[in-house]
Structure 1
Amino acid sequence: MGGTLTAGRVAGSGTQFAMTHHLKAALVFPSEAEPIANGMVSIEDGVIAAVGAARREPDAVHLGNTAIIAGLVNAHAHLELTEFDRPLGWPGIGMAQWIELLLAHREQSAADGAKTAQDPLDRWAAVRRGLAESIGCGVTQLADIAAHPWPAELTAGGLLDCVVCREIIAPTPERLAGLPPDAAAEFGLGSPAAPESVAVDGPLSSGGHLEGAASCVDETSSPRSDGVTGSQWSSSHSQQAEYRRGLSLHAPYTVLPELWPAAARQSERRRQLLAVHLAESQEEIELMASGGGPLRALLESRGAWSAGLWPGPRGPGDYLRMLEKAHRLLIIHGNYLDADSLELLGRWRDRAAVVFCPRTHRWFRHRRYPLAEMLDRGIALAVGTDSRASSPDLNFWAELQAIAADYPEVPLPRVLALGTAMGAAALGRSPPWGRLVVGAPAILTFVGLPPGSGDPFARLFDGRSRPVGRWLPGSTSLESLQHLAGR
């Protein structure tokens, strides 16, 4: 249904058959052109073959009052924290207070013998729930911060292009010496390097959305891994899916300074993404500048403070410079970056991006995010959900709607780019990844629109719009899209 077999010839081989699909929708949002009312996207062998006004095609699938956009990219999540039903604490809570609540929750759960994200079984159950929720919200690519490497039996199933960044916390020499051997190896701390990628088996149910599979090729496996075509993606549908592996230093107040350049060198050697929480709170800035404040008090109370954590007055830019050698940087939050940091990130725009998490930002009531200023400076940006411990849910589309509502000075086409093309670039995918253009892999998200007419972008980001499906190369079950025709 909705597909036509067309014959084509490959050099040096016989005839092969490629499936062509035509998807019609009320609005189509090309990445490099104006929105198209009553538009159509044609897909051939997993690649976007045409984008334009709808034309007569007997096998076309009509998606009804729906928008077709490039696939959504969540550039920051903590899926191991999907156990929470609501954010911890209260609006405006301090960072040290929030961390204390998180630690107390884990300790109480362990004391009660309850299974939580601390328990291996429930940890992966939480990750699976997070993956399913992300897929149900239209996400096609995702970067996760993980305290533990995903095991082979974790069934991501290729339905998300994932980067999993292994995180370490080592605020004292004793905790550094006590790192698990696999974590030490991951960061090149004296042990043989861990494998560059990990295979994960089996499909994860997409909760009624169009199912497909993706080969998440590790950047380290090939210098051209960013250029994977739709047909290459499709051909791996029956094979094991892989996720790309990255690194994560938690934050300046939880990782000894000498580990920062070491992690950057490891990122460079293995051509991996390196993520770090930086300038997230005013309390962190206070600790950097003076060596004191609520975060130091928290660390001391937990036996996690060492003199080496504060080598003297510093700013975010000093920590950035220690990461200069990294292959690719992901700066998480950056709510309190100073002029020095912004200047550096502007110069490093081709290999460093800042991830803004709007609803977590709201929860902590941080100062207004300098989003428009950072965009004007040419700083690379992306958007993330963070976790359910600081945000209502993992609805990535709601993050973009929050930006549209809270930052009217940012043009809506730019908001869409933040959640698609700019996110893909931040995670190391080169154009045309993350774009709805001819020649790009057919990685799409479908957004149900409110009734009515008017400005296409205003309709797209209306508070009533919501993701209703996705398209990934390798998909064949078009019947699951038929429910959209009546929208």
Structure 2
Amino acid sequence: MQEYPRYLYRAPFVVTGNGPVIADGAVLTENGLVAAVGSYAELKDVDAQLEEYDGHVITSPLVNCHAHLELSYLAGLTGDSPKPGDMTGWIRGLLAARAESPEPEIVHDAARMGLARLYAGGCRAVVDIGNLQESSLLGEGFKTEVLFFLELLGLCGPSEEAALATLAGIGSEVCCTPHAPYSAGPALIRALKKRAGNNLFPMHVAESAQEIEFLRTGRGPFADFLAERGVEVASFAPPGMGAVRYLESLGVLDKQTLCVHGVHVEDEEIALLALHGAAVCLCPGSNRFMGVGRAPVHKMRAQGVPLVLGTDSLASNPQLNLWREMQVLREEHPDLPPEAVFAMASINGARLLGLENRLGRIAPGVSSSLLAVRCPAKTEAEVLEYLTLAGTEIRLEWLE
């Protein structure tokens, strides 16, 4: 049996994720797990190899709750920002680019490079949404865990029937999810939720005003776009309500539901999210690029809605970097507590994915795969300010 040495990692600060920042902190690791965490004075006499990290802060790794690694080869789409809020215009460009059908190796290699970027940025787990079943294998051999979901679309009529038929032929080992309320019909959404059971159920929800217009009236840019794609829009009965209320009416809103983006939600819908315990994955970098608006984060926090962070894809975000997501969120909501923002990128995501016993915090029994982040902070109060505002200036190394 392989033996792992005992290490005592010391740094000016340790961010445990489940308590105050520890000044002159230390983390003891053994057999791939954290054995103890506390002040260096408390742990200095243990029998372990001491590793000093002056000028650093030791933190838990990060958790990305929404990405599309499969779209990494389309990074060029972020060269020019689309017309603000024009989701359908951006989707047209995306589909046109995908129609050029690059070699599968190009798509695969770009996705793996995207995953490598996430790992280099301190990400230890990612929820990945894709349209190809083979994308479920992207995480093989990587230290960053990939929780893959195959995304299905089919709004009404033949398209929904075809999606349901496709779903029936997919093995139970593949997690599946609907794309969005404007692209997956009620029967498909319910079928996918039933299949998910007590497992995570992610879905794009209320990302753009165009989406809400379509759900309320059945008209607008999305109706035109779907008709262009051959969808029998006339046979779709618009629910006449916002996206969150619609999902509740379908009976699919609960603690396993992850509403991605959650930008255009009304106050009563925020209350519904809180009532059912549904989480929201904020994607501030993508939202900024797309010009779709900002999620009502303060109202969500006030109601106790669980909040996590995601990067979305390189087709709608110049960076796959959770530090930048924290930075954008702080820039747009400067009065958000930095500890709350850091939690969105770490322990909140780990808890949502059921990984809190291994990731997202520093405590006895969790994985010893931790981060040492260069940090100029001189006080405990400055640590999380720096970590949540430094963005792509963050420099780190893994403690494995």
Query: TM-score under structure 1 normalisation?
Result: 0.74
Q: 1:18 to 1:302 in 2, by over 3 A?
A: closer
CA contact (8 A) 1:165 1:247 kept: yes
**1:440 matched residue in structure 2:** 366
Letter in 1 for 2:57: A
CA displacement at 1:29 relative to structure 2: 0.6
2:378 is the counterpart of 1:392:
no
2:9 is the counterpart of 1:23:
yes
CA displacement at 1:396 relative to structure 2: 1.4
CA displacement at 1:163 relative to structure 2: 1.0
Q: Distance in 1 between matches of 2:262 and 2:332?
A: 18
CA displacement at 1:404 relative to structure 2: 2.3
Q: Distance in 1 between matches of 2:121 and 2:200?
A: 25
Q: 1:368 to 1:333 in 2, by over 3 A?
A: closer
Q: Distance in 1 between matches of 2:346 and 2:115?
A: 18
2:224 is the counterpart of 1:297:
yes
CA displacement at 1:246 relative to structure 2: 2.9
Q: 1:87 to 1:152 in 2, by over 3 A?
A: closer
Letter in 2 for 1:139: C
**1:77 matched residue in structure 2:** 67
Partner SS state of residue 163, structure 1:
strand
2:89 is the counterpart of 1:100:
no
Letter in 2 for 1:296: A
- Pairing 1:94-243 to 2, within 5 Å after superposition: 94-107=86-99, 109-110=100-101, 115=102, 119-150=103-134, 154=138, 156-179=140-163, 183-185=166-168, 191=169, 194-196=171-173
2:261 is the counterpart of 1:261:
no
**1:415 matched residue in structure 2:** 341
Which structure has the highest helix share of the two? 2
CA displacement at 1:126 relative to structure 2: 2.3
CA contact (8 A) 1:23 1:40 kept: yes
Letter in 2 for 1:90: S
Q: Distance in 2 between matches of 1:179 and 1:257?
A: 12
CA contact (8 A) 1:67 1:460 kept: no
Equivalent in 73, 78, 101 of residue 87 of structure 1: 78
Q: 1:369 to 1:153 in 2, by over 3 A?
A: closer
**2:52 matched residue in structure 1:** 62
- Bigger CA drift: 427-436 or 376-385? 427-436
Q: Distance in 2 between matches of 1:329 and 1:152?
A: 21
Letter in 2 for 1:121: E
CA displacement at 1:46 relative to structure 2: 2.1
Deviation string 1:36-79 (CA, Å, 9 cap, x unpaired) is 23321111222211112223677211223221111100000010
Q: Distance in 1 between matches of 2:219 and 2:250?
A: 22
Partner SS state of residue 175, structure 2:
strand
Segments of structure 1 that go 5 or more residues without pairing to the other structure are 1-14, 186-190, 197-244, 476-487
Deviation string 1:417-443 (CA, Å, 9 cap, x unpaired) is 111110112223345642212232334
**1:337 matched residue in structure 2:** 265
Letter in 2 for 1:263: L
Identity of aligned residues (%): 29
CA contact (8 A) 1:264 1:325 kept: no
2:221 is the counterpart of 1:281:
no
CA displacement at 1:367 relative to structure 2: 3.3
Letter in 2 for 1:288: L
**1:227 matched residue in structure 2:** none
**1:34 matched residue in structure 2:** 20
CA displacement at 1:415 relative to structure 2: 0.9
Q: Distance in 2 between matches of 1:88 and 1:306?
A: 32
CA contact (8 A) 2:17 2:60 kept: yes
Letter in 1 for 2:91: I
CA displacement at 1:299 relative to structure 2: 1.1
CA displacement at 1:128 relative to structure 2: 0.8
2:388 is the counterpart of 1:405:
no
Deviation string 1:344-389 (CA, Å, 9 cap, x unpaired) is 211222xx31100011111123333211211111101100000111
Letter in 1 for 2:184: V
Partner SS state of residue 34, structure 1:
coil
Give the paired residue count. Answer: 391
**2:180 matched residue in structure 1:** 251
Q: 1:388 to 1:145 in 2, by over 3 A?
A: same
Q: Distance in 1 between matches of 2:164 and 2:115?
A: 26
Over the residues paired in the alignment, what is the CA RMSD in angstroms?
Answer: 2.6
Letter in 2 for 1:175: S
Letter in 2 for 1:78: H
CA contact (8 A) 1:25 1:38 kept: yes
CA displacement at 1:292 relative to structure 2: 0.5
Partner SS state of residue 303, structure 1:
coil
Equivalent in 317, 320, 323 of residue 248 of structure 2: 320
Partner SS state of residue 126, structure 2:
strand
Q: 1:323 to 1:436 in 2, by over 3 A?
A: farther
- Bigger CA drift: 312-321 or 133-142? 312-321
CA contact (8 A) 2:37 2:363 kept: yes
CA contact (8 A) 1:167 1:248 kept: yes
CA contact (8 A) 1:434 1:443 kept: no
Q: 1:152 to 1:277 in 2, by over 3 A?
A: closer
CA contact (8 A) 1:88 1:101 kept: no
**2:38 matched residue in structure 1:** 52
